[in-house]
Amino acid sequence: MIPYKQRFHGHGSLRYLYRNGDAVRSRTVTIKYITNPMRKNHRLAVVISKKVLKSAVRRNRVRRRIYEIMRLEMTKIDKPQDIALLVFSSEVLSMSHDELKTTIKHLLNQAGLYQN
């Protein structure tokens, strides 16, 4: 799990990110991101719709897997960013850890956020 100070609080800041942020897409996951010069830390959210996975247990499992990958990768992002990972496919539940990590790293590279 990520620290409290690196989470979004309230819907207003996520709404701002959805409207003004840039997006990088893959077949299963989309990353919305925007630089936030007002903050010292990154903020992260993982969004999974009930339409994608009906069971809360499965949604939370996917969310925890992505949070763990991002917790390790956030140290390599240089500027304070607001990042939302939107999951659009139930395939993420059955992906191996390495495959999911590769997908997320590729999206971060594509967005220009990740320094190798």
**DSSP letter at 78?**
-
Using one digit for the tens of pLDDT, what is the confidence trace for 42-54? 899 999 999 999 9
CATH class given for the domain over 4-111: alpha beta
39 against 100, higher pLDDT? 100
- Say how far residue 63 (Cα) sits from the centre of its chain: 9
The token pair at 18 is 């959805």
In this prediction, residue 116 carries a pLDDT of 53
* pTM of the model as a whole: 0.89
Tally of CA atoms within 13 A in the half-sphere of 111 that contains its CB: 28
In this prediction, residue 82 carries a pLDDT of 92
